[in-house]
């Protein structure tokens, strides 16, 4: 079989949608008689980008037709752009069109990351007869919880920067914005207009601040049973969709609609949203071993499912993880790991856990009678985001691991730190914090962060989360809190795969803001879309026999 083909290119080929709108695609074909299996990429970022052209030519070189399409309302495609909601039907119609072309053998695979991943997840439940496999990267399926409102808080940085870049027909430069001030604009409903943007869908995002029918219409986590094709999923520990990649993997393995879809796989490395582009992420160089050839995995996936080549990929373990701290890749068979030892680590102090110099401790011993910790949260002076699971403008808000000691010197950040470990200690899985807390206002936020502290004191963030108090019981039916009442809050910090090396300590930070990753809670209990008034909140964290605040850790025993 020939392994290398010359390429012919057809530019701006119009693809008709069911409503008559014409979408534009560039098509790369092997110079041969065909027909060929097809790889489809659908993008809002222009199908004329150099990396997409290079990728398309490489696929055509290897015997695939490659179709790269501008989504509706972007670049050379007609229609009006509206994120997410239109992509399921448009994806189906595009697949149907490809299947009828003389150069197509009727089998289609899809690939791409971020928005190029969402168009795969959104079209797959439509079950087009030609769609055979997908390779979605760094994307969620529950858009309310995964992208827009994690824990009920608006994910401000990504939605404002990404939204303003993609709101017009072509790309918009945002480099000249004074972002430090732009993120502080109030009310939030006027944030785009006051900063020179034009995003018609911003008001829809503001109107639907609860998990309602607007989000239900595009919630793919409820449709795994409708997906009949296998997915090769890719993600990074420092991607904003880290948790979602595992949710998608588990959903497909357990609930996929066919035996083929239940053969889905997942690869996760120590990467941010751009995946395996560099050994360095944030402050940390994870070493040459941390980078792998993801396109090579993708080609093996397509070769098997689209060309029928028995290359052994389906016989390999379904999960491949890079475990930070160890610097090693490891294959696993399930998620969460079956051998996980779920341990409770309790918060302790004598009432002075403020800053990393305080007396906050973490241990496996349950608390007795201890004084609570207190801090003041002033939305005028929120805790600054320093790295983490951010997207998509690292030049504005950096992503990845950074030293958190500057943050931890603030008096409105509580730090609870374990004793140094006597031996390597692996934590791999979902991280959850149960917090018993009170605020003197009708609403506030609770934030938490997991940190690996080296013997030198360097404090490397691993994952973090937030919970808006009014959403403590339901993301669909918010309820304000009774001022002063001690309530139980469950904060999901995300996922991690990390070995705390001998001599390192584990720390959890607790505060009430992580800005501008998330919007500020103004503590008034008012409408956060239109509110401009702020109040200072006085916060209390309890950790005693009656209120045992604790961190749930997925500890992996040493083999």
Supply the CATH number for residue 420's domain.
2.60.120.260
Segment among 121-130, 168-177, 356-365, 506-515 with least mean pLDDT: 168-177
Do 255 and 269 reside in the same domain of the chain? yes
Do 449 and 534 reside in the same domain of the chain? yes
Q: pTM of this prediction?
A: 0.96
The residue with tokens 């299996």 is 37
Q: What is the domain count for the chain?
A: 3
- Decide: residue 382, CB within 10 A, 0-12 exposed, 13-18 middle, 19+ buried: buried
Query: Is the confidence at residue 176, as pLDDT, over 70?
Result: no
Q: What is the reported pLDDT for 393? A: 85
The better pLDDT of the pair 526, 559 is held by 526
Element (H, E) at 435: strand 425-439
Contact 372, 353 (CB under 8 A): no
Q: What digits encode the pLDDT tens for the residues 19-58?
A: 999 999 999 999 999 899 999 999 999 999 999 999 999 9
Structure-token pair, residue 115: 């928005």
Task: Considering the candidates 130, 273, 304, 543, report the single residue annotated as catalytic.
Answer: 273
Indicate whether 192 belongs to any domain: yes
pLDDT > 70: percent of the chain: 99
Q: How far apart are CA 66 and CA 302, in angstroms?
A: 12
Q: Between vectors from CA 195 to CA 192 and to CA 199, what angle results, nearest 5°?
A: 30
Do 235 and 196 reside in the same domain of the chain? no
Q: Is position 189 annotated as part of the catalytic site?
A: no
Backbone angles phi, psi at 455, to 5 degrees: -55, -25
Structure-token pair, residue 504: 């390192």
Indicate whether 2 belongs to any domain: no
**Average of pLDDT values for 144-168?**
93
Q: What is the reported pLDDT for 430? A: 98
Element (H, E) at 294: helix 294-307
Nearest to 150 by CA among 222, 213, 214, 243: 243
Indicate whether 522 belongs to any domain: yes
CATH number at residue 103: 3.40.50.1820
Query: Is the confidence at residue 315, as pLDDT, over 70?
Result: yes
Do 424 and 529 reside in the same domain of the chain? yes
Which of 272-297 are b and which e, b meaning 16 or more Cβ less than 10 Å from the residue's Cβ? bbbbbeeeebbebebeeebbbebeeb
Contacts of 350 (CB under 8 A, 6+ apart): 359, 370, 371
Sign of CA dihedral 290, 293, 295, 300: negative
Query: Is the confidence at residue 1, as pLDDT, over 50?
Result: no
Query: Is the confidence at residue 2, as pLDDT, over 60?
Result: no
Indicate whether 184 belongs to any domain: yes
Task: Considering the candidates 56, 114, 189, 505, report the single residue annotated as catalytic.
Answer: 114
Given 306, 332, 358, which residue is the final one in a domain? Answer: 332
Task: Considering the candidates 76, 90, 93, 239, report the single residue annotated as catalytic.
Answer: 239
Q: What digits encode the pLDDT tens for the residues 73-108?
A: 999 999 999 999 999 999 999 999 999 999 999 999
**Average of pLDDT values for 439-450?**
98
Quote the mean pLDDT of the chain: 96
Q: What digits encode the pLDDT tens for the residues 358-390?
A: 999 999 999 999 999 999 999 999 999 999 999
Given 332, 365, 398, which residue is the final one in a domain? Answer: 332
Residue 394 — very low, low, confident or very high, per pLDDT cuts 50/70/90? confident
Domain that holds residue 102: 7-144+214-332
SS (H, E, C) 378-414: CCCCCCECCCECCCCCCCCCCCECCECHHHHCCCCCE
Do 267 and 374 reside in the same domain of the chain? no
Do 194 and 322 reside in the same domain of the chain? no
The residue with tokens 């079989």 is 1
Q: Is position 368 annotated as part of the catalytic site?
A: no
Q: How far apart are CA 490 and CA 49, in angstroms?
A: 43
Which of 106-133 are b and which e, b meaning 16 or more Cβ less than 10 Å from the residue's Cβ? ebbbbbbbbbbbbbbbbbbbbebebbbb
Do 484 and 542 reside in the same domain of the chain? yes
Q: What digits encode the pLDDT tens for the residues 194-248?
A: 988 888 899 999 999 999 999 999 999 999 999 999 999 999 999 999 999 999 9
Please report, for residues 359, 433, 473, the alpha-carbon distance to residue 510 in angstroms, rounded to integers and kept in the order given: 14, 10, 20
Q: What is the reported pLDDT for 269? A: 98
Indicate whether 349 belongs to any domain: yes
Q: How far apart are CA 165 and CA 179, in angstroms?
A: 14
Q: What is the reported pLDDT for 475? A: 97
Structure-token pair, residue 220: 């793919």
Segment among 111-125, 153-167, 257-271, 520-534 with least mean pLDDT: 153-167
Do 281 and 392 reside in the same domain of the chain? no
Do 398 and 306 reside in the same domain of the chain? no
Which of 519-556 are b and which e, b meaning 16 or more Cβ less than 10 Å from the residue's Cβ? bbbbbbbbebbebeeebebbbebbbbeebbbbbbbbbb
Do 241 and 367 reside in the same domain of the chain? no
Indicate whether 1 belongs to any domain: no
Indicate whether 150 belongs to any domain: no
Given 273, 303, 332, which residue is the final one in a domain? Answer: 332
Q: Is position 114 annotated as part of the catalytic site?
A: yes
Q: What is the reported pLDDT for 328? A: 96
Q: What is the reported pLDDT for 198? A: 83
Indicate whether 234 belongs to any domain: yes
Do 121 and 234 reside in the same domain of the chain? yes
Do 346 and 323 reside in the same domain of the chain? no
């Amino acid at each position: 079989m020939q392994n290398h083909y010359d390429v012919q290119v057809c530019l701006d080929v119009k693809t008709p949608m069911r409503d008559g709108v014409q979408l534009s695609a560039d098509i790369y074909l092997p110079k041969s008689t065909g027909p060929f299996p097809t790889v489809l990429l659908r993008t809002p970022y222009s199908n004329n980008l150099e990396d997409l052209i290079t990728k398309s030519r490489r696929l055509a070189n290897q015997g695939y037709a490659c179709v790269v399409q501008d989504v509706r309302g972007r670049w050379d495609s007609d229609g009006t752009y509206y994120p997410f909601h239109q992509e399921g039907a448009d994806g189906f119609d595009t697949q149907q069109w490809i299947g009828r072309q003389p150069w197509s053998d009727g089998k289609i695979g899809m690939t791409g990351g971020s928005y190029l991943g969402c168009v795969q997840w959104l079209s797959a439940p439509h079950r087009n007869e030609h769609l055979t496999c997908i390779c979605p990267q760094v994307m969620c399926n529950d858009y309310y919880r995964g992208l827009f409102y994690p824990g009920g808080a608006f994910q401000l940085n990504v939605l404002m920067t990404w939204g303003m870049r993609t709101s017009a027909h072509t790309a918009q430069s945002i480099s000249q914005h004074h972002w430090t001030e732009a993120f502080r604009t109030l009310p939030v409903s006027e944030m785009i207009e006051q900063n020179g943007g034009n995003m018609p869908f911003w008001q829809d995002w503001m109107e639907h601040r609860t998990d309602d029918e607007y989000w239900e219409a595009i919630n793919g986590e409820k449709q795994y049973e409708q997906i009949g094709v296998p997915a090769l999923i890719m993600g990074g520990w420092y991607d904003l969709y880290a948790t979602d990649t595992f949710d998608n993997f588990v959903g497909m393995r357990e609930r996929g609609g066919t035996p083929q879809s239940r053969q889905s796989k997942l690869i996760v490395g120590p990467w941010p949203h751009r995946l395996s582009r560099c050994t360095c992420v944030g402050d940390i160089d994870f070493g040459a071993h941390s980078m792998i050839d993801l396109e090579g995995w993708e080609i093996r996936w397509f070769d098997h499912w689209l060309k029928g080549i028995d290359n052994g990929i389906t016989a390999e373990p379904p999960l491949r993880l890079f475990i930070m701290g160890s610097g090693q890749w490891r294959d696993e068979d399930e998620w969460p790991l079956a051998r996980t030892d779920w341990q409770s680590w309790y918060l302790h102090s004598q009432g002075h856990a403020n800053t990393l110099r305080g007396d906050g401790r973490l241990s496996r011993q349950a608390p007795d009678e201890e004084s609570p910790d207190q801090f003041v949260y002033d939305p005028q002076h929120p805790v600054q985001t320093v790295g983490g699971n951010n997207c998509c403008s690292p030049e504005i808000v950096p992503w990845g691991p950074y030293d958190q000691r500057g943050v931890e010197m603030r008096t409105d950040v509580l730090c609870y730190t374990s004793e140094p470990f006597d031996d390597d200690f692996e934590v791999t899985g979902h991280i959850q914090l149960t917090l018993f807390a009170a605020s003197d206002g009708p609403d506030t936020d609770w934030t938490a962060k997991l940190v690996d502290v080296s013997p030198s004191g360097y404090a490397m963030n691993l994952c973090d989360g937030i919970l808006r108090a009014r959403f403590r019981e339901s993301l669909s039916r918010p309820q304000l809190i009774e001022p002063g009442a001690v309530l139980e809050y469950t904060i999901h910090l995300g996922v991690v795969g990390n070995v705390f090396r001998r001599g390192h300590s584990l720390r959890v930070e607790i505060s009430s803001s992580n800005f501008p990753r998330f919007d500020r809670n103004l503590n008034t209990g008012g409408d956060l879309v239109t509110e401009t008034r702020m109040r200072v909140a006085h916060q209390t964290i309890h950790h005693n026999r009656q209120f045992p605040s604790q961190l749930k850790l997925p500890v992996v025993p040493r083999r």
